[in-house]
Structure 1
């Protein structure tokens, strides 16, 4: 009798935890979907296209000595601003 009561309590706790986990997973998937939509929207906007185009140009010229120097200077300045 006491064992049955304890088993029922444990089953109820397990069901509650499972339901909470499923809700959290659904919320997580919704946030991921929303983040994906925002990324797509940004990439389609003028700043996003500019950033994408610039990154493409840098990738084509990544072995150029001048581009390497400019990237290094930019990285140093960025690190100085963080510190």
Structure 2
């Protein structure tokens, strides 16, 4: 296996946890859509990617700027994000 193939394979493995996270979110988003908690037009695949990206970014912000993102601020941001999803 050449160096490019090895890098691609390593990158694929590194992304596996994120793929599992998105996969675990999709059925929950589909259920929420079925209960009309999300728009009937909502794309669970896209929403799973958006939610994973949001939470990953929030964790990074809290890690590197804990004074700016204490738990209360994180909860407020999460509540706003969830409200946005419900109206999208």
Give 1 or 2: higher helix fraction.
1
Higher relative contact order (CA 8 A, sep 6+): 2
TM-score norm. by structure 1 comes to 0.31
Answer with 1 or 2: which has the greater Rg: 1
- TM-score (structure 2 length as normaliser): 0.30
